[in-house]
Amino acid sequence: MKQKKKKKKSHVPFRVNVLFFIVFILFSVLILRLGFVQIVYGDDYRREIERTEDITVNNPVPRGKMMDRTGKIIVDNTPQNAITYTNRGAKQDEMIEVAKKLATLIEKDTSKVQERDKKDYWILENSKRADAKVSDEEIEKLKKKLEGKELDKKIYQLKLDRITEEELNELTAFDLEVLAIYRDFSSGYALTPQMVKNKGVTDEEFAVVSENLQLLPGVDTTTDWERYYAFGDTLKSVLGNVSDDGLPAEQLEYYLARDYSRNDRVGKSQIELQYEDVLHGQKAKVKNITDKAGNVLETIPISEGKRGKDLVLSIDMDLQMAVDKIVEEELRAAKGKSGTLLLDRSYVVLMDPRTGEILSMSGKRIVKKENGEKVIMDDALGNIQTTYNVGSTVKGATIMTGFNTGAIRPGDTFYDTPVRIKGTPPKKSWKAGLGTMSDITALKYSSNVYMFQTAINIGGGTYIPDRPLKLDSKGFSTIRDSFAQYGLGIKTGIDLPNEQSGFKGTGTKPGFMLDLVIGQYDTYSNMQLAQYVSTIANGGNRMEPHIVKEIREPLMENGEIGPIIQEIEPKVLNRIEGKEEWLDRVQEGFKKVTQEPGGTAYSSFGAKGKDYNPAGKTGTAEAFYDGPERSKYGKEPPEVINLSYVGYAPYDNPEVAIAVLVPWAYQGSHGHYANRNIAERVLDTYFELKKQRQSGTANTDHSTEDQKETDGEKTEQE
């Protein structure tokens, strides 16, 4: 019987089977996990991979325009070629390469490149030489004290400090242009256009850059805007300026917090600054969609930009041009008289006493250029930013202060004779023999003595000739508080920055109080004089002066003026104290000044038969020179005469108030009458222009009749 064959045993060990089983289990778990991730979290991971960032960018728009009260454009925008750069994630070396290419195509101003900029650029271009300036031993020592960013910062600073002047001089003119361009490239935020050149971009530069944009990633050609002043330098100091190179460094955080970009141009001074929120407009907004690497995938417009709102000024530019011409002519004429070495300026304000609207604001100043040439420049701001002793023009406020305090009563009289206080020179009126003065005639003839007696009574003193005079020092605050009701010695509230309130004398001697009531102690601005006389003219309301009349939507496409957004309403700051009949007496005195023989302005108005029924008050102040030539005169400044005039017309229904101030008019006891000449010619021009417009024959060549007094004419001056 055949023996059965034995069953063949497997040669695969048991433990290998176990290993295969384990691997099978692991692969199964992995497959299950992958399936789970794909099914449950697949969409989440896909969104993460495709994640983008939305970055909103604001693009600037043209500023609002300014026009005068008749609709004439004063400040406009003119388009100009511009070259910009937008950083879309470029690295430093990439930006420098683009800057080098661009520098071969345009001329770039390098005047603003600083020494630190040059050193940084030298290190970039000479990295090995820069590294050699700090030895390995020094670095090892520094590592014992510092680490991380602090270490890198210290090493870099050592490199900067050790760059020599000779090494900096290695930078060529081309290098500096590249550096200047690179500074602009890196000065702002990513995806925000930075201005590289917007002034003096020639048509050739604009064309060649446009043709090579594919070789200049981030660079673009566009249109920028520049402020245009239709009347040249007329009123330029009041209109203000706009920054050329983005936000001012001293106000950077302020503007950035208000959603401005670093390269935005903003108002730097005066109206441009005061009304920045109105003029700067609403920026165009676009959304840049980028991937994780910072590459722009899509640009989506969000909102269209809107040009800034327009301002309608209260200024009448035809009148302004004519007044400027008069002021300049009279300043030149006065400068030709003897004793006028220190005369260099003159100011005029025309104001509507009913509303506070400034109709004209003129100032002219003689300035010596570096080559010694003397030119006359606009100084309209001097009406609010400079203050002087103004003299007798304040006497209307003095009379009202006397009435309010009970120091005098309407009709009270004093005999005009010099006031002699022991130990001081006699204090007298401008002319001897004025006789017995009432409150009204004291204004007409400009009696100082009447004002002195009023001040003595306000101060509770008793005047005895040639004896000491004692006055209560509280009288100073009493007078100043009263004057402030008219705008004298305080800010007027005009809608312009940096208004000055004037200087208040600190001494309290009795003689100073007497000087105060005749305008020869404290100082006032010409705008304060305009507000003061307007308060008298309108019956006792101190109006807030304003130079902006309306805020309007931007001009329509067809050139029509836009609808009104805001009209600046007349604002009464305060009502003066006192009875109406008291103010009537002051007004009557002002009328006699101009319309009755003997009045200190009669020869300029009443004697010439002016038909616009003027009223006013002249002023002459003994003062001390404090101008640009002051340093030449040592400790004691020269004595000078300041001239002023305030007035209004027509007397029975005032529509215009005027203030004229001519500081440091002359030296000596006799001189010219520029204050009255200017006031006469300006008021003549105002009413003549009004007649021309009413008849439809307005003359726009800004010429005025020469009405200057002849040198030989004798006129009265207090």
Active site positions, annotated: 392
CA distance 597 to 433: 16
Task: Residue 7: count other Cβ atoms within 10 Å of its Cβ.
Answer: 5
CA 14 remoteness from chain centre: 96
Q: Distance (Å, rounded) from C-alpha 468 to C-alpha 251?
A: 56
- Is residue 289 within 8 A of residue 298, CB to CB? The reply is yes
Could you identify the residue written with the tokens 């200024």?
Answer: 315
Tell me the three state secondary structure of residue 693: helix
Using an 8 Å Cβ cutoff, are 193 and 220 in contact?
yes
DSSP string across 572-633:
EEEE-SS-HHHHHHHHHHHHHHHHSTTSTTGGGTGGGT-TT--EEEEEEEEEE--STTGGGG
Q: 677: Cβ–Cβ under 8 A, 6 or more apart, which residues?
A: 330, 333, 604, 707, 708, 709
The string of DSSP letters for 203-243 reads HHHHHHHHHTGGGSTTEEEEEEEEEEETTTTTTHHHH--B-
Tokens coding 272: 């441009």
Residue 81 has φ and ψ, to the nearest 5°, of: -60, 145
The counts of H helices and E strands in the chain are 24, 20
Q: How far is 28 from 8, CA to CA, in rounded Å?
A: 33
What are the DSSP E strand ranges found in 240-357? Answer: 284-291, 296-303, 310-313, 345-351
Q: Using N-to-C axis directions, what is the helix angle for 395-405 and 448-458, rounded to 10°?
A: 30
Q: What is the CA radius of gyration of the chain?
A: 39
Residue 552 · residue 561 · CB < 8 Å: yes
Enter the tokens of residue 87: 């950083």
Distance CA 488, CA 466 (A): 33
List, in order, residues 6 or more apart from 504 with CB less than 8 Å away: 480, 489, 522
574 vs 542: CA distance, rounded Å? 5
Give the separation between CA 128 and CA 668, rounded to whole angstroms. Answer: 75
Cross-strand partners of 271: none
> Residue 673 contacts by C-beta under 8 Å, 6 or more apart in sequence?
604, 643, 709, 715, 717
- Half-sphere exposure of residue 549, counting CA atoms within 13 Å on the CB side? 18
Q: Where are the alpha helices (DSSP H) in 67-193?
A: 92-103, 115-125, 127-131, 136-145, 148-161, 165-168, 173-185
Helix (H) or strand (E) holding 45: helix 42-49
CA angle 208, 212, 218 (to 5 degrees): 115
In this structure, are residues 391 and 680 in contact, taking their beta carbons and an 8 Å threshold?
Answer: no
- What's CA 428's distance to the chain center, in Å? 43
Alpha carbons 317 and 496: distance in angstroms, whole number? 18
How far is 665 from 620, CA to CA, in rounded Å? 10
